Protein backbone atom coordinates (compact mmCIF):
# COMPACT_ATOMS: atom_id res chain seq x y z
CA UNK A 1 0.00 0.00 0.00
CA UNK A 2 1.47 3.33 -1.12
CA UNK A 3 1.14 6.19 1.36
CA UNK A 4 0.63 9.89 0.65
CA UNK A 5 1.07 12.71 3.15
CA UNK A 6 -0.41 16.09 2.24
CA UNK A 7 0.60 19.53 3.52
CA UNK A 8 -2.06 22.25 3.23
CA UNK A 9 -2.60 25.74 4.64
CA UNK A 10 -6.14 26.72 3.67
CA UNK A 11 -9.48 25.45 2.47
CA UNK A 12 -8.16 22.05 1.44
CA UNK A 13 -10.07 21.43 -1.77
CA UNK A 14 -7.04 19.76 -3.39
CA UNK A 15 -6.43 17.69 -0.24
CA UNK A 16 -10.08 16.61 -0.19
CA UNK A 17 -9.94 15.72 -3.88
CA UNK A 18 -6.84 13.57 -3.34
CA UNK A 19 -8.28 11.85 -0.26
CA UNK A 20 -11.50 11.00 -2.13
CA UNK A 21 -9.56 9.83 -5.20
CA UNK A 22 -7.59 7.28 -3.17
CA UNK A 23 -10.31 6.42 -0.65
CA UNK A 24 -11.64 3.36 -2.45
CA UNK A 25 -8.34 2.13 -3.82
CA UNK A 26 -6.57 -0.88 -2.42
CA UNK A 27 -3.11 0.22 -3.57
CA UNK A 28 -2.74 3.77 -2.15
CA UNK A 29 -4.08 5.98 0.62
CA UNK A 30 -3.72 9.49 1.98
CA UNK A 31 -2.74 8.50 5.50
CA UNK A 32 -2.05 11.96 6.95
CA UNK A 33 -2.66 15.65 6.33
CA UNK A 34 -0.49 18.26 8.02
CA UNK A 35 -1.39 21.93 8.27
CA UNK A 36 0.38 25.02 9.55
CA UNK A 37 -2.96 26.74 10.16
CA UNK A 38 -5.01 25.54 13.16
CA UNK A 39 -8.06 27.38 11.71
CA UNK A 40 -7.73 25.90 8.20
CA UNK A 41 -10.86 24.47 6.63
CA UNK A 42 -8.78 21.47 5.53
CA UNK A 43 -9.09 20.19 9.13
CA UNK A 44 -12.91 20.01 8.84
CA UNK A 45 -12.60 18.31 5.45
CA UNK A 46 -10.25 15.69 6.91
CA UNK A 47 -12.54 15.07 9.89
CA UNK A 48 -15.50 14.56 7.55
CA UNK A 49 -13.45 12.09 5.49
CA UNK A 50 -12.02 10.32 8.56
CA UNK A 51 -8.44 11.19 7.58
CA UNK A 52 -5.84 12.02 10.22
CA UNK A 53 -4.94 15.70 10.32
CA UNK A 54 -2.42 17.44 12.56
CA UNK A 55 -1.51 21.10 12.84
CA UNK A 56 1.96 22.40 13.66
CA UNK A 57 3.77 25.70 14.10
CA UNK A 58 6.93 27.19 12.57
CA UNK A 59 9.15 25.86 15.36
CA UNK A 60 7.90 22.29 14.86
CA UNK A 61 8.74 22.27 11.15
CA UNK A 62 11.80 24.52 10.98
CA UNK A 63 13.63 24.44 14.31
CA UNK A 64 12.97 20.99 15.67
CA UNK A 65 12.59 17.45 14.41
CA UNK A 66 8.90 17.24 15.36
CA UNK A 67 7.42 17.34 11.85
CA UNK A 68 10.29 15.30 10.41
CA UNK A 69 9.68 12.57 13.01
CA UNK A 70 5.95 12.59 12.26
CA UNK A 71 6.78 12.13 8.57
CA UNK A 72 9.26 9.34 9.26
CA UNK A 73 6.58 7.57 11.30
CA UNK A 74 4.01 8.02 8.50
CA UNK A 75 6.46 6.55 5.95
CA UNK A 76 5.14 8.46 2.91
CA UNK A 77 5.92 7.28 -0.58
CA UNK A 78 5.06 10.82 -1.69
CA UNK A 79 4.67 14.14 0.13
CA UNK A 80 2.22 16.45 -1.62
CA UNK A 81 2.09 20.20 -1.02
CA UNK A 82 -1.47 21.20 -1.86
CA UNK A 83 -1.85 24.88 -1.09
CA UNK A 84 0.91 24.85 1.51
CA UNK A 85 2.17 28.42 1.83
CA UNK A 86 5.41 28.09 3.79
CA UNK A 87 8.80 27.36 2.29
CA UNK A 88 9.44 23.66 2.72
CA UNK A 89 12.48 23.08 4.96
CA UNK A 90 15.73 21.73 3.55
CA UNK A 91 16.20 19.19 6.37
CA UNK A 92 12.94 17.47 5.38
CA UNK A 93 13.71 17.65 1.65
CA UNK A 94 17.05 15.93 2.25
CA UNK A 95 15.30 13.08 4.12
CA UNK A 96 12.80 12.58 1.27
CA UNK A 97 14.73 13.23 -1.98
CA UNK A 98 12.49 13.44 -5.06
CA UNK A 99 9.45 12.58 -2.94
CA UNK A 100 8.06 16.09 -2.35
CA UNK A 101 5.86 17.70 -4.99
CA UNK A 102 3.82 20.89 -5.22
CA UNK A 103 0.98 22.20 -7.34
CA UNK A 104 1.22 25.82 -8.50
CA UNK A 105 -1.69 27.79 -10.06
CA UNK A 106 0.28 29.11 -13.05
CA UNK A 107 2.55 27.93 -15.84
CA UNK A 108 5.95 28.06 -14.17
CA UNK A 109 8.45 29.65 -14.47
CA UNK A 110 5.91 32.47 -14.88
CA UNK A 111 4.19 33.81 -11.76
CA UNK A 112 6.22 31.78 -9.29
CA UNK A 113 8.26 32.69 -6.25
CA UNK A 114 7.71 33.96 -2.73
CA UNK A 115 4.27 35.52 -2.26
CA UNK A 116 2.92 34.15 -5.53
CA UNK A 117 0.03 31.95 -4.53
CA UNK A 118 -3.75 31.84 -5.04
CA UNK A 119 -5.39 35.14 -5.84
CA UNK A 120 -2.02 36.93 -6.07
CA UNK A 121 -1.15 34.73 -9.05
CA UNK A 122 -4.57 35.13 -10.69
CA UNK A 123 -4.50 38.92 -10.28
CA UNK A 124 -1.04 39.09 -11.87
CA UNK A 125 -2.17 36.92 -14.79
CA UNK A 126 -5.19 39.21 -15.41
CA UNK A 127 -3.12 42.39 -14.99
CA UNK A 128 -0.66 41.17 -17.64
CA UNK A 129 -3.52 40.32 -20.03
CA UNK A 130 -2.37 36.75 -20.53
CA UNK A 131 -4.23 34.74 -23.15
CA UNK A 132 -3.63 31.46 -21.30
CA UNK A 133 -2.63 30.18 -17.90
CA UNK A 134 -2.65 26.82 -16.20
CA UNK A 135 -1.23 24.63 -13.47
CA UNK A 136 2.23 23.26 -12.85
CA UNK A 137 2.99 20.18 -10.78
CA UNK A 138 6.67 20.15 -9.87
CA UNK A 139 9.24 18.66 -7.53
CA UNK A 140 10.08 20.84 -4.54
CA UNK A 141 13.63 22.01 -4.02
CA UNK A 142 15.23 24.64 -1.78
CA UNK A 143 13.82 27.54 -3.84
CA UNK A 144 10.18 28.61 -4.22
CA UNK A 145 8.62 27.12 -7.38
CA UNK A 146 11.94 26.23 -9.02
CA UNK A 147 11.95 22.41 -8.83
CA UNK A 148 11.80 20.26 -11.95
CA UNK A 149 8.44 20.39 -13.74
CA UNK A 150 6.51 17.10 -13.76
CA UNK A 151 3.32 18.20 -15.55
CA UNK A 152 1.56 21.27 -16.87
CA UNK A 153 -2.00 21.78 -18.10
CA UNK A 154 -3.22 24.94 -19.83
CA UNK A 155 -6.48 26.78 -20.22
CA UNK A 156 -7.43 29.71 -22.43
CA UNK A 157 -8.38 33.04 -20.94
CA UNK A 158 -10.84 35.58 -22.27
CA UNK A 159 -10.02 39.31 -22.27
CA UNK A 160 -13.04 39.78 -19.98
CA UNK A 161 -11.84 37.23 -17.37
CA UNK A 162 -11.21 38.61 -13.90
CA UNK A 163 -9.14 36.96 -11.14
CA UNK A 164 -12.18 35.03 -9.91
CA UNK A 165 -12.81 33.63 -13.41
CA UNK A 166 -9.17 32.59 -13.65
CA UNK A 167 -9.39 30.93 -10.22
CA UNK A 168 -12.38 28.84 -11.36
CA UNK A 169 -10.53 27.68 -14.49
CA UNK A 170 -7.44 26.79 -12.46
CA UNK A 171 -9.53 24.93 -9.87
CA UNK A 172 -11.08 22.83 -12.62
CA UNK A 173 -7.62 21.88 -13.95
CA UNK A 174 -6.41 21.02 -10.43
CA UNK A 175 -9.40 18.78 -9.73
CA UNK A 176 -9.00 16.97 -13.05
CA UNK A 177 -5.24 16.44 -13.19
CA UNK A 178 -3.70 16.49 -9.71
CA UNK A 179 -4.92 13.07 -8.47
CA UNK A 180 -3.94 11.37 -11.75
CA UNK A 181 -0.42 12.80 -11.65
CA UNK A 182 0.00 11.84 -7.97
CA UNK A 183 -1.10 8.31 -8.83
CA UNK A 184 1.32 8.13 -11.78
CA UNK A 185 4.20 9.26 -9.57
CA UNK A 186 3.33 6.73 -6.87
CA UNK A 187 3.49 3.83 -9.29
CA UNK A 188 6.21 4.93 -11.69
CA UNK A 189 9.16 3.73 -9.60
CATH number at residue 8: 3.40.50.170
Q: Is residue 99 a part of any domain in this protein?
A: yes
Q: Is the dihedral of CA 111, 116, 118, 123 positive or negative?
A: negative
Q: What is the pLDDT of residue 112?
A: 96
Q: Is residue 38 a part of any domain in this protein?
A: yes
Q: Is residue 125 a part of any domain in this protein?
A: no
Number of domains in the chain: 1
Q: Is residue 161 a part of any domain in this protein?
A: no
Q: Which domain holds residue 144?
A: 2-105+137-152+178-186
Q: Is residue 72 a part of any domain in this protein?
A: yes
For the chain, which ranges sit under pLDDT 70?
A: 189
Q: What is the pLDDT of residue 189?
A: 61
Q: What is the pLDDT of residue 114?
A: 92
Q: Is residue 34 a part of any domain in this protein?
A: yes
Contact 153, 177 (CB under 8 A): yes
Amino acid sequence: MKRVVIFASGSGTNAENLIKFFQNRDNAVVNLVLTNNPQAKVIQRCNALKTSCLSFNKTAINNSLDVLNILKNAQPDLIVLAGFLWKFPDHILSEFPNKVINIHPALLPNYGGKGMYGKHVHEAVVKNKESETGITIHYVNEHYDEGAVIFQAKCDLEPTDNAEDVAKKIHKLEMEHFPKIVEQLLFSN
